[in-house]
Structures are given as C-alpha cells and as structure tokens.
Amino acid sequence: MLKPVFIIALAAVVMIGVVVFGALYFNETSQDVVEFNEGINYSQVFIYTTNSEITVNVEVADTPQKQSQGLMFRENLKWDHGMLFIFDSESVLSFWMKDTLIPLDMIFVDETFRIINIIDNALPCNIEPCPDYSSEKPVKYVLEVNAGFVETNDIEAGDFISISPNSSK
C-alpha cells in the first residue's frame, strides 16, 4: 500500500517542479525586448502597403521628455516593435541617433497618416556631431523600427498607417 502512495506523491512533486520551472523559464525568455516601463503608453501601429498590412507594437513617445529619450541606450528591439513619436501639430522634424545603440529605420508620417519620408538604416552615433535625419516636409508622427524593417516589408512613401485609438493625440 505504501508503494502506490509514494509513487503518486513523487509524481505530484515532479509535476509541480515542472510547472514552476516552466513558468520561471518562459517568464524569463518570452519577455519583450522593449521593456514595459511605468508611465509609458503602449499601442499598435498598422502600416498599409500595396501588398500587405503590417502590425508594429509600439512604445508611445508623446511628451517632450519621452521624445528626447527615444530609444537611446536600448541594446535590442524586437523585430515587430518600435517607438511612435506623436507631436501636437505638424512641423518639419529632425532626429539624430545620439546614444542610440541600434540602427533604425525612421518613418515620417503626416497628420493624414500618409507616409511622407523614410530614412533607411540610420546608424548609431556616440560621438558628436551626429548627423540629423529630416522629415523634409511637415509631419506629426515618426515611427522608429529596426533597420531593414522598411525594406523587408516593402514600406514606401505614400503608404498609410493607422494607430490604435488609445495612442492617438
């Protein structure tokens, strides 16, 4: 009689160990590289190209403090993640890559959600003077994604985006 009880108890301990280990392992390895920080808004941007709809999970930079920080000092960015800069009104904008550690594509978007200009593969810069990357025309939004994302997804000037409602200003 003792033997079946021992086997059941041992099996229960092993199962609990597997569940606990699995939960800890997957919690550590499946976290987004863009960390979720308090006070940061998150949303999604949908990019409509001639051939497809692309979803980008974004951290929203809608205050001067968040905009000046941008993606500085980030060592990684998941492929389908980025940062969406939202400004109060349209203007010609310039961005730089000071203290940004990863190369980025910059997508400049006007108030009608039309892509106006794209900068491919803006390279990190840690020594001033760093080059400026201009929208060239007035824009209200800038979407930063991993370098190569624009080319891989055939995103072009003239394409459109939409922003999930919780992030538009």
Q: Each residue of 57-115: pLDDT tens digit?
A: 999 999 999 999 999 999 999 999 999 999 999 999 999 999 999 999 999 999 999 99
**Residue-level pLDDT at 38:** 53
Distance CA 20, CA 24 (A): 6
Helix (H) or strand (E) holding 86: strand 81-91
> Is residue 26 scored above 80 in pLDDT?
no
Residue 60 burial (CB < 10 Å; 0-12/13-18/19+)? buried
